[in-house]
């Protein structure tokens, strides 16, 4: 039994997907750990699991109809959403994600979420094509922007026989997520941890209109900042030019040049955690021309740029307790990353291959190796950047909780 889970009130919404049966096991796990569980079943959800089995396992009434006057008198949609500590929608269908993303409230589940002031955790489950459909992806990212927490989906064999991303996380994985959410959040809160994350590219101007930059979208760093803040870490994101929206509950400072990123980094110190995910330009023009350079000038002299990661890791007065760098390479990834750890004195390097268009810059996916100073190498296969971010952040949190 986990002390942080005892008496926690979980409002579980079960949607209409094949994976609905898995939620019965989840209720069992939660009850075994002395959580109180109330369940809302969508109309489609009832086609997959019966209210009777849910009521027996949860030892509570099952809520289905927003206009059920009997249950409404006892607990309406507002009271249900106020009663709980968290709302878990598992499985959430493509249909329900679309409803939540557009603010619709045409059944009990969507109405109580719209009316809620509690953390909301979504465990999506659907066929791979449904999951990868542009509309589902847009909805999912909107929900992330709303600050909803998500677990999964993972990649694997589906009930329909196809293979790919869209499989619901297992009841055990969801249970562990909830357990970690309550326990680690409590511990982290009590430690008042502060983090600094850099993300995106930088621009190094040659003259008023031309600059050196790269294709970094900032997605991986933004996801890390979002995930750190979910765990209760006071997080500041220093972002180079990026079209991404500010993650909920994260302080953001927008900059253009490496020089500006460096100045803001110094201002944010001291922090406990520094994650340097920005693709800072390694070079800058030796000289900035105040006026537009004439086109017959073809020689461009460059010089080395400021190294923010190295500055943080070698900063004796205000060194963050954990300094994590990123290495975007196109060849011999792990070898370069190991050298970078030694050269820059950081604690971990997250290395990725930016030559592969399916992952890295601009993509929603990444495939990384996390290399520690101790020599430990953890390889994460291709997965959503949000998944990779959660993995890295869980490793960071474990570092501080132990």
Where in the sequence numbering do the catalytic residues fall?
160
Annotate 223-253 with b (16+ C-beta within 10 A) or e (fewer).
Answer: bbbbbbbbbbbbbbbbbbbbebeebeebebb
User: Measured from the CB atom, is 15 or 240 closer to ligand FMN?
Assistant: 15
User: Measured from the CB atom, is 33 or 154 closer to ligand FMN?
Assistant: 154
Compute how many residues bind ligand FMN; rule: CB under 6 A: 15
90 binds ligand FMN (CB under 6 A): no
Angstrom distance (rounded) from CA 209 to CA 300: 15
Angstrom distance (rounded) from CA 360 to CA 352: 7
Q: Compute the least distance from the CB of residue 21 to ligand FMN, in Å.
A: 11
Among 18, 155, 187, 293, binds ligand FMN (CB under 6 A): 18
153 binds ligand FMN (CB under 6 A): no
Q: Compute the least distance from the CB of residue 361 to ligand FMN, in Å.
A: 30
Give the x/- contact pattern for ligand FMN in 41-70, rule: CB under 6 A: -x-xx-------------------------
- Residue in 223, 255, 248, 256 with CA at minimum distance from that of residue 363: 223
Helix ranges restricted to H, 115-218? 128-132, 134-145, 171-191
265 binds ligand FMN (CB under 6 A): no
Q: Compute the least distance from the CB of residue 87 to ligand FMN, in Å.
A: 15
Diameter of the chain by CA atoms?
Answer: 82
154 binds ligand FMN (CB under 6 A): no
Does the CA dihedral 144-77-184-121 come out positive or negative?
A: negative
User: Measured from the CB atom, is 113 or 252 closer to ligand FMN?
Assistant: 113
Q: Are 254 and 270 in contact (CB under 8 A)?
A: no
DSSP 8-state secondary structure symbol assigned to residue 201: B
Annotate 44-72 with b (16+ C-beta within 10 A) or e (fewer).
Answer: bbbebbebeebeebbeebbbbebeeeebb
Give the x/- contact pattern for ligand FMN in 109-138, rule: CB under 6 A: ----------------xx---x--------
Among 90, 93, 198, 363, binds ligand FMN (CB under 6 A): 93
268 binds ligand FMN (CB under 6 A): no
The token pair at 381 is: 């296969």
Angstrom distance (rounded) from CA 16 to CA 110: 13
The token pair at 139 is: 């909805």
**Cα-flanking dihedrals φ and ψ of residue 70, to 5°?**
-70, -50
Question: Which span sits near ligand FMN by CB under 6 A: 14-22, 149-157, 219-227, 293-301?
Answer: 14-22
139 binds ligand FMN (CB under 6 A): no
Among 2, 95, 214, 356, binds ligand FMN (CB under 6 A): 95
User: In sequence order, what are the beta bridge partners of 120?
Assistant: 87
Q: Compute the least distance from the CB of residue 116 to ligand FMN, in Å.
A: 17
96 binds ligand FMN (CB under 6 A): yes
The token pair at 102 is: 């557009």
Q: Compute the least distance from the CB of residue 238 to ligand FMN, in Å.
A: 37
List residues near ligand FMN by CB under 6 A: 15-19, 42, 44-45, 93-96, 125-126, 130
């Amino acid at each position: 039994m986990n002390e942080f889970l005892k008496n926690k009130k979980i409002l579980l919404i079960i949607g209409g997907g094949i994976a609905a049966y898995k939620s019965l096991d989840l209720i069992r796990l939660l009850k075994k750990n002395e959580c109180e569980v109330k369940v809302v079943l969508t109309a489609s959800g009832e086609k997959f699991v019966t209210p009777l089995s849910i009521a027996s396992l949860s030892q509570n009434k099952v809520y289905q109809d927003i206009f059920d006057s009997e249950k409404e008198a006892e607990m309406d949609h507002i009271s249900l959403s106020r009663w709980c500590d968290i709302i878990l929608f598992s499985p959430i269908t493509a249909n329900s994600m679309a409803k939540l993303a557009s603010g619709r409230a045409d059944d009990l589940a969507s109405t109580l979420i719209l009316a809620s002031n509690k953390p909301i955790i979504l465990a999506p489950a659907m066929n791979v094509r449904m999951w990868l459909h542009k509309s589902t992806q847009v909805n999912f990212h909107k929900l992330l922007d709303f600050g909803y927490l998500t677990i999964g989906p993972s990649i694997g064999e589906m009930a329909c026989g196809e293979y790919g991303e869209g499989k619901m996380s297992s009841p055990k994985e969801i249970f562990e997520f909830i357990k970690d959410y309550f326990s680690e959040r409590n511990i982290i809160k009590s430690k008042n941890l502060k983090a600094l994350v850099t993300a995106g590219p930088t621009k190094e101007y040659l003259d008023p209109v031309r600059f050196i930059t790269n294709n970094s979208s900032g997605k991986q760093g933004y996801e890390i900042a979002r995930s750190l803040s979910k765990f209760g870490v006071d997080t500041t994101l220093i972002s180079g030019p990026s079209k991404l929206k500010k993650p909920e509950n994260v302080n953001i400072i927008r900059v253009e040049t490496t020089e500006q990123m460096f100045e803001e980094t110094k201002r944010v110190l001291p922090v406990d955690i520094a994650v340097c995910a920005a693709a800072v330009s390694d070079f800058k023009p030796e000289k900035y021309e105040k006026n537009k350079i004439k086109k017959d000038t073809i020689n461009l002299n460059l010089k080395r740029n400021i190294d923010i990661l190295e500055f943080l890791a070698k900063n004796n007065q205000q060194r963050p307790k954990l300094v994590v760098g990123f290495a975007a390479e196109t060849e011999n990834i792990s070898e370069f990353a190991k050298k970078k750890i030694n050269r820059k004195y950081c604690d971990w390097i997250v290395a990725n291959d930016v030559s592969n268009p399916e992952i890295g810059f601009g993509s929603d996916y990444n495939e990384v190796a996390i290399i520690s100073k101790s020599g430990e190498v953890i390889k994460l296969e291709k997965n959503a950047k949000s998944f990779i971010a959660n993995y890295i952040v869980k490793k960071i949190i474990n570092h501080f909780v132990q």
